[in-house]
Amino acid sequence: MPIPPIPQLLSDKRILPRSFYRRPVTTVARACLGQILVHATHRGWVAGIIVETEAYAGPRDRAAHSYGGRRTARNEAMFGPAGHAYVFFLYGMHYLFNLVTGAVGQPQAVLVRALEPCCGEALMHERRGHPRRRVELTSGPGKLCQALGIGPAEYGLDLCKPPLFLVEGCSARTVACSPRIGVGYAGEWASKSWRFFDPNSPFVSGAGRAHG
DNA sequence: TGAATGATTTACT
DNA sequence: GTAAATCATTCAA
């Protein structure tokens, strides 16, 4: 089945270049807010405005999968060039999506935790099993992967070209920060405010909505 | 070869 | 608020 043509809404927007990703991980995590994540599949196009991210800086960051510089089959993508996808499986049921940042050999990544749907919402709704409330489509890292159809097949994809990429969105957004979610085991690294989000967006994930 | 665990979500009390 | 679902990865032996 062929991939449909790109929707008008997305066709005139600029794909973010690799230089966008080739910067320090916290810079990229913050810069991602307001940008649009797009995925084209044979079932249609889906896209959402990024409203919540987290920075994972390896190998010193104890919360990062690249902690200690350990290079494994799972985290291999983190060691590669910036602007590629790092997708992993968690808790036996969810996929989480990251963007690789920094220079080659610097195993850093930005976890995308929440989006505001802006294209292909009907398909997202179906993939998510028709949740009662609209925010449940993409208000969490596992939810947005399910809504956008991101899984193991997307591991390592180049984010500077279709079918999975970011386009320039609106940048005029307020940015709040807080400690990262679910990394309490990471000692001093757990207290770093490396979670960035738009405090005005109802799609920011419920876990740890406080702080700011 | 085996056991522990996790960058989550959901349902239930 | 707590707990179950569910499994690849990791680490110990």
Residues 32-91 of A with CB under 7 A from strand B: 54, 56, 63-65, 86, 90-91
If one compares A211 and A184, the residue with the highest pLDDT of the two is A184
Distance CA A87, CA A188 (A): 26
Separation CA A106–CA A100 (nearest Å) = 9
Res A58 pLDDT > 90: no
Average pLDDT (A157-168) is 98
Instruction: Give the residue-averaged pLDDT of A158-183.
Output: 93
β-pair partners for A149: none
Nucleotide nearest to A74 (CA to C1'): C9
CA/C1' separation A133–B11 (Å):
16
**Average pLDDT over chain A, rounded to whole?**
95
Protein footprint on strand C: which nucleotides are under 7 Å from a CB? 5-11
Q: Which two tokens stand for residue A200?
A: 């005005």
pLDDT of the residue at A30: 97
List all residues 6 or more positions away from A84 whose beta carbon is below 8 Å from its beta carbon. Answer: A77, A99, A100, A156, A157, A158, A159
User: Phi/psi at A159 (nearest 5 deg)?
Assistant: -85, 10
pLDDT in tens, A5-54: 999 999 999 999 999 999 999 999 999 999 999 999 999 999 999 999 99
User: If you average pLDDT over residues A122-128, what whole number do you get?
Assistant: 97
> If you count them, how many residues does chain A have?
212
Residues 155-194 of chain A in contact with strand B via CB under 7 angstroms:
180-183, 185
User: Encoding tokens for residue A211?
Assistant: 């702080």
Tell me the mean pLDDT in the region A155-178: 93
- The answer, yes or no, to whether residue A207 has pLDDT greater than 60, is yes
Model confidence at A162: pLDDT above 70: yes
Burial A148-183 (b: 16+ CB within 10 A, else e): bbbeeebbebebbeeebbbbebeeebeebbbbbbeb
Please choose, from the candidates A50, A42, A45, A51, the residue with its C-alpha nearest in 3D space to the C-alpha of residue A11. Answer: A45
Rounded to two decimals, the pTM is: 0.96
For A17, which DSSP code?
A: P
Q: How far is the CA of A16 from the C1' of C12 (A)?
A: 44
